Amino acid sequence: MPNDVTANMADEFERYRSDLKSALSYVEDGSFSWDDAVGLLIIQLKNTDSLNKARRASHATQIQLTSERESVEGSKKTEDFFPTLTLNSSFKSWRISIPARINIRNVEQLSGAARGTTDSWRPDSIQIRRRILNDDGQGNGNPTLQICYGDDLMPLREQLNVDDYLVIVKRKSESSYEAFGVKKDVNLGSGKNMYLSANASNDSTVFMFGRLTVNYDTVERKAGGTNILLYGVPGSGKSWTIEHEYCKPGCLVERLVFHPDYTNADFVGQILPVVDKDKQVTYEFTPGPFTTILRDAYINPTKEYILIIEEVNRGNAPAIFGEIFQLLDRKVEMHDGDDGYPVGTSEYGITHKHMADYIYKGPTHKVRIPSNLSIIGTMNTSDQNVFTLDTAFQRRWRMRLIENNFDNVRSSLANALILDTGVTWKRFCETVNTIIIGNKSKMASAEDKRLGVYFVHEGDLTFDERAIPAEGNATLLTEYNALLGKELLETINDDEKIRLAEIREALMHNRMFPEKVIKYLWDDAFKFNPEALFDTDIVKSLEQVIRMFVYNKGKDRFKIFKQTVRDTLYSAQQQ
């Protein structure tokens, strides 16, 4: 191709990519960026491409690309966007499906609907058909390629009218296309045109189809997938650790939570009734989040995927995993003559026809976790009424204890004062945890009952100064009760109504710390011997504990604790 033509194509590519990025910036996420595009196929729809269900004669079901004639020197044919398809040109006609994705937000935007979906992409396919037009009966005629839109492409196609655009994007070294709809007010030229980036290598826009299917088992794939289980006391920073140490920029993350009612069907998938377009009920396999992310990782071998499972032991994990429990055994090294799968792939494959059909498009394919998918779980060691994880299950995970200390906790939290008490969160937490550890004889698994350093947020500790009693009132409780009495007798004036509303809001805020932390200490950590921490000569119930803390002020809030505890809190604060 002459250099000036190549340069012109690259200039046009940059122009249209910029226009698309401006018009469809909202489709960008961790899995797609316009900056990664190396090829654009822009098709302006004409009357012959019209979609009109009310008039069957003009209800076209395909978009014709240019024919497979020789192109003009120095230009490229539009069908070269799918160059490997011509490998099958010896056949008179054929039809194949190419992996593609449709952006759900794009469809919603075209339809004028509010963008309310939390899902960004629908994994679908683009069907490419080769036909012989004007066939003379002897196989001679005009061969042409057509994009066919059936159930897959139809939700997008239905939103486009004559002169609107169908845009198909190819990203470098990625194994699927993306299809977008663009309204005609965004001028993307006319006709059906292909544009390539100047940085696109010869194979940037080519799929390795082999026998017209992508063999993802043999493509180069990110390695190192693993299973990691983070455990520790509630609030020790397990989720924080995942976000800051494991979720690298560019990796794709899905998060779910196990609970007692969560089942294998929820996790893997199940057969559910589906109403088709003819209002007929059929039964189809509906994938769960595990199967969905496994498929996404399988067909995107260069991307890193992470499935985060919070609260693993709050559900019956061995039952939830079921037969895919075997997949947690990962290959740790390569051997001569082995199956060739990279390190991090499941060591053994399992038979699951529904998963296999959804993931691999073949029910007999063995199911494996690909090497570019990691599973990270979290587990609170102190939770009661949860399921135990047996040794066979735990040994398939890399266990990591998240230490419960303030070494790497942000100072805004560690040094935050608890309301108006003058005691920092760090000092309070360390003091109470020391007492918990020393209480082993009275408490089973005392270490697991400690307060986690992230048990609270800064907002739980701040003091709402509207809770300071107004002038003339000895305590907030005195002022509050007086205003409540006036409200009850309907003798309250407007200024008093405003003050009463302020007190209520302040109390609701200032209750957050005692309702979260003090309640946990009374109901759980010191449930069987509250006298180890609390002054049980003064407080006999949780109601008394909360009331005393809320309506006192300053140091007096901690009168709920023994004198020795208070001395430790304040003597250490003054050093």
For residue range 399-410, list pLDDT tens digits in order.
999 888 898 889
Cβ–Cβ < 8 Å for 358, 269: yes
Is residue 161 one of the residues assigned to a domain? yes
Phi, psi (5° rounding) for residue 400?
-140, 120
Give long-range contacts, CB 8 A cutoff, 24+ apart: 340-348: 340/218, 341/217, 341/368, 341/371, 342/221, 342/222, 342/223, 342/371, 343/223, 343/224, 343/371, 344/223, 344/224, 344/225, 344/226, 344/370, 344/371, 344/372, 344/374, 345/225, 345/369, 345/370, 345/371
- Given a cut of 90, is residue 413 above it in pLDDT? yes
Of 370, 401, 432, the domain-final residue: 401
Is residue 215 one of the residues assigned to a domain? no
Domain that holds residue 446: 411-574
Of 383, 401, 419, the domain-final residue: 401
High-pLDDT (> 90) share of the chain, %: 43
For residue range 296-318, list pLDDT tens digits in order.
999 888 889 999 999 998 899 98
Q: Are residues 123 and 148 in the same domain?
A: yes
For residue range 138-197, list pLDDT tens digits in order.
555 566 666 766 565 777 888 888 889 989 888 876 767 888 999 999 999 887 787 888
Of the pLDDT bands very low, low, confident and very high (cuts 50, 70, 90), residue 439 is confident
Helix (H), strand (E) at residue 323:
none
The pLDDT, as a whole number, for residue 454 is 92
Q: Are residues 54 and 154 in the same domain?
A: yes
Residues whose CB falls within 8 Å of the CB of residue 239, separated by 6 or more in sequence, listed in order:
310, 378
Average pLDDT, the chain: 82
* Number of domain units in the chain: 3
Distances (CA, A) of 441 to 236, 446, 447, 524: 24, 9, 12, 16
Instruction: List the CATH number of the domain containing 102.
Output: 2.40.330
Q: Indicate the SS3 state at residue 235.
A: coil
Is residue 208 one of the residues assigned to a domain? no
d(Cα 57, Cα 48) in Å, to the nearest integer? Answer: 11
The pLDDT, as a whole number, for residue 334 is 80
* Least confident stretch, 219-233, 457-471, 502-516, 542-556: 219-233
Which of 43 and 48 is assigned the larger pLDDT?
Answer: 43
